[in-house]
Amino acid sequence: MADLLSEAERDAALPALGDNGWAAVPDRDAIRKIWKFKNFSEAWGFMNRAALQAEKLNHHPEWSNVYNVVDVTLTTHDCDGLSALDVTLAKRLDALAPGAEVQRDHGEPVVCLCKIHAKGA
């Protein structure tokens, strides 16, 4: 059974994750990050590598994919909030895609590249 992060543990771990594009999810004890890759192949490659890390840790993301976009939320269901496992998995995911674009504004709808057309097209 995982334990919720203490205030001190949050203070120690979360600012660095915030710098890397993770943000708090409103009304949940969870963190979210949205990656925008060049295409589906890169997004899927990331998800494959991420899935291996999740299996190794026995800790799994809530995530979705639309073409080049991978939207990841981390929380621990066993303790209904953030645990050390979320911090560990977040760092591992960050290490898998150091150069990828990150959508920091979570208020925007996630726009698939396939919806972006030349003006007048």
Ligand X SMILES: C[C@H](O)[C@H](O)[C@H]1CNC2=NC(N)=NC(=O)C2=N1
Query: Which residues of the shown chain bind ligand X in the complex (CB under 6 A)?
Result: 58-60, 76-78
Report the nearest approach of ligand X to the CB of residue 114 (Å).
30
Nearer to ligand X, 46 or 68 (CB): 46
Query: Inter-axis angle of helices 40-57 and 84-96, to 10 degrees?
Result: 150
Nearer to ligand X (CB atom), residue 60 or residue 106: 60
Both tokens of 77, joined, read: 């269901």
- Least distance from C-beta 10 to ligand X, angstroms? 17
User: How far is 52 from 47, CA to CA, in rounded Å?
Assistant: 9
Using the structure block, give the residue that is written with the tokens 């698939």. 112
- Nearer residue to ligand X within complex by CB, 56 or 77: 77
Least distance between ligand X and beta carbon 1 (Å)? 9
A 10 A CB-CB count for 27 gives 6
Task: Give, as one character, the DSSP assignment of residue 29.
Answer: S
CB of 99 to ligand X, least distance (A): 26
Comparing CB distances to ligand X, the nearer of 82 and 97 is 82
Q: Report the distance separating Cα 83 and Cα 45, nearest Å.
A: 26
